[in-house]
Structure 1
Amino acid sequence: MTDDGILVVSEDACRELVGRKDAFDAVEAVFAAMARGDAYNFPVIREAIGYADALYGFKSGFDRAGLALGLKSGGYWPGNAAKGLTNHQSTVFLFDPDTGRLKALVGGNYLTAVRTAAASSVSIAHLARPDARVLGMVGAGHQSAFQLRAAAEQRSFEKVVAWNFHPEMLPALGKVAAEIGLPFEAVERERLGAEADVIITITSAFEPLMMRDWIKPGTHIACMGTDTKGKQEVDAALVAAATVFTDEVAQSISIGEAQHAVAQGLKAEADITPIGAVINGAHPGRNSEAEITLFDGTGVGLQDLAVASVAADLAKAGGRAQVVRL
């Protein structure tokens, strides 16, 4: 709680105030805090509610370094698009860690997109080869534009190659590439794997879309779509062959991209490294030019709290937050 009420930060305010650099810095810092043991996520609750085909749940945690305490509540309503609404709906609740009192309510839809893109861009910054020049995009949904813009700021890419299950969606992603000055080409998946130095997968697939044999040495892959048991974006053999990093190991092996390789005995939990260890300098990250690195971005509540805290601070400082007194 502020001195005179609870802050309410709208979606519009978040969109106008929180930029990609803000999100990158917040996510990088919270990954580092997690690896140091200064921040931890609480168990995730996610359930089908038996109405409107919706999934609903909570992600929460506490960052002692950033003093962010709270939760993100929301989920996925597949019928929203027909109503002119975003399918993913969420709100972040921030609490004062000194008193437990509610401090802020922050719109979570834009922030979820920008923090997810920030996570993959953090992985690119710390793991991709410095000379990476071709960016591969697997997926062309709402999140893909955020991913493309964030990734393009981490390396001097010269081209974007992309594939989507529904190819008619690719021109919209091509417009984003054109806006940031990158040539764009729709290609088949095998060619994407052969050309791309960095690959971002951002789909809701339940089967592998990229196979081990298609990936060239030295590639960095950010798997950002697998966040539920059963989902899968890449071949388990590719996970096995790669040096794997993640936001949170427990989620990686249970609901993340590593779940299949671990279940098949192709990868051990001990072989998966929190990316915060690379950020902190406790792990060297990439060891060679030929090494395939893979970031398993499962999405953690602490990411949401970190960017929501930034939004609340900026909104308060800029007079963009409503104040509610209870």
Structure 2
Amino acid sequence: MFLVPESVARDLVTPAAAFAAVEATFAAMARGDAWNFPVVRETLGHADAVYGFKSGFDRAGQVLGLKSGGYWPGNADKGLTNHQSTVVLFDPDTGRPHAVVGGNHLTALRTAAASAVSIKHLARPDAHVLGIVGAGHQAPFQLHAAAAQRTFSRVLGWNVDPSMLDRLAEAAAAVGLPFEAVDRDTLGARADVIITITSCFEPLLMCGQVRPGTHIACMGTDTAGKQELDPALVSTAHVFTDEIDQAVRLGECQHAVEAGLLTPAAITPLGAVLTGDRPGRVDADEITLFDGTGVGLQDLAVAAVAVRLARAQGLAQSVDM
């Protein structure tokens, strides 16, 4: 079995490599070549943590495994990332453990890659203003990945705690884009692409705040009860997701579905757009929305890339089991 520590995975897997792996996973899911297993996600009643497992099998890519981890909100005070995760890969022919991979950095990369895939395939080609709601650890990853998909001219940002927006300003400067801190009304009125990446349990963007033609990548809602958008906004959009079942149970769609404003049949798997089986954006004025719940297959795909690169460069530690 191989060990790929967090530091090695961080150095080896580029955003471009993560994007390619995640995009391929979307398509494999749509073709029926890969599927996710039911998610286990529980509140621990300790340290305010939420912990769980995501797993799946890519038959075409021969990747089998799980990601174990969750969210510890007090970690920032300890100098640690709030999201903690580890990926375990297994040999699909024997069931023996194949690799253990540090998953914190890879989770950030794959989450950003997923929203970037949605921007590539759903945002208007002339989109030039990027808006980001949220300024936590994940937000700079989102900004960098999005910037590779369109020729943006500026970045607008809003966060519950405005003092954290310096993180977004630095990320924007790193890709050569001016940054402006704005209120939510201004962000919704001016942005062509909006990424929401928070841990909120209440709507941050309302239906009237987002203009026609906007693409929204809603990336923070991955647990029952979490919410970033007004259900009325979700119901007026052309909705896409990574996996319909998760979107209805755990994603942003849960609230619109519960309110009777959206049916699962109205949600399109993004992978079906990649394979050409379903249309993506059909009108320059429609609001498109990607409900990114985060699926285990994406974690496994980027972890497999890390293992392959680490082995090729002699950086994977081999241990007997």
Task: Quote the residue 2:260 is aligned against.
Answer: 265
Match of 1:146 among 108, 124, 141: 141
Asked if 1:276 is matched to 2:271, the reply is: yes
- Partner Cα distance (2:180, 2:193) in 1: 15
Task: Quote the residue 1:179 is aligned against.
Answer: 174
Give the partner amino acid of 2:317: Q
Give the partner amino acid of 2:145: A
Give the partner amino acid of 2:172: A
Tell me by how many angstroms 1:51 deviates: 2.7
Task: Quote the residue 1:160 is aligned against.
Answer: 155
1:57-89 deviation digits (Å, cap 9, x = unpaired): 111110111111000011122222222111211
- Partner Cα distance (1:223, 1:88) in 2: 18
Query: What SS does structure 2 have at the residue aligned with 1:182?
Result: coil
TM-score by length of 1: 0.97
Tell me by how many angstroms 1:172 deviates: 1.7
Asked if 1:193 is matched to 2:204, the reply is: no
Asked if 1:75 is matched to 2:70, the reply is: yes
1:95-120 deviation digits (Å, cap 9, x = unpaired): 01111111000000000100000000
Task: Quote the residue 1:131 is aligned against.
Answer: 126
Give the partner amino acid of 1:318: Q
Asked if 1:250 is matched to 2:245, the reply is: yes
Match of 2:80 among 81, 85, 90: 85
- Partner Cα distance (1:179, 1:77) in 2: 29
Query: What SS does structure 2 have at the residue aligned with 1:204?
Result: coil
- How do residues 1-326 of structure 1 correspond to structure 2 at under 5 angstroms? 6-326=1-321
Question: In 1, are the aligned partners of 2:234 and 2:256 still within 8 Å (CA)?
Answer: yes
Query: What SS does structure 2 have at the residue aligned with 1:129?
Result: coil
Query: What SS does structure 2 have at the residue aligned with 1:142?
Result: coil
Task: Quote the residue 1:3 is aligned against.
Answer: none
Q: RMSD across aligned C-alpha pairs, in angstroms?
A: 0.9
Tell me by how many angstroms 1:49 deviates: 2.5
- Partner Cα distance (1:174, 1:156) in 2: 18
- Partner Cα distance (1:288, 1:78) in 2: 40
Give the partner amino acid of 2:273: V
Give the partner amino acid of 1:214: Q
Which region of structure 1 is more displaced relative to structure 2, 55-64 or 121-130?
55-64
Which ranges of 4 or more aligned residues in structure 1 deviate by more than 4 Å?
A: none
- Partner Cα distance (1:99, 1:308) in 2: 19
Give the partner amino acid of 2:254: Q
- Partner Cα distance (1:98, 1:207) in 2: 45
TM-score by length of 2: 0.98
Query: What SS does structure 1 have at the residue aligned with 2:38?
Result: coil
Gaps of at least 5 residues in structure 2 are none
Query: What SS does structure 1 have at the residue aligned with 2:60?
Result: coil
Gaps of at least 5 residues in structure 1 are 1-5
- Partner Cα distance (1:227, 1:209) in 2: 16
% identical aligned pairs: 69
1:39-60 deviation digits (Å, cap 9, x = unpaired): 1111111122233332221111
Query: What SS does structure 2 have at the residue aligned with 1:222?
Result: strand
1:176-215 deviation digits (Å, cap 9, x = unpaired): 1011100100001011000000000000111111111111
- Partner Cα distance (1:49, 1:290) in 2: 44
Which region of structure 1 is more displaced relative to structure 2, 224-233 or 45-54?
45-54
- Partner Cα distance (1:54, 1:242) in 2: 32
Give the partner amino acid of 1:274: P
- Partner Cα distance (1:50, 1:159) in 2: 42
- Partner Cα distance (2:236, 2:46) in 1: 41
Question: What is the number of equivalent residue pairs in this alignment?
Answer: 321
Query: What SS does structure 2 have at the residue aligned with 1:104?
Result: strand
- Partner Cα distance (1:126, 1:76) in 2: 30
- Partner Cα distance (2:72, 2:228) in 1: 22
Give the partner amino acid of 1:305: L
Question: In 1, are the aligned partners of 2:81 and 2:137 still within 8 Å (CA)?
Answer: no
Query: What SS does structure 2 have at the residue aligned with 1:85?
Result: coil
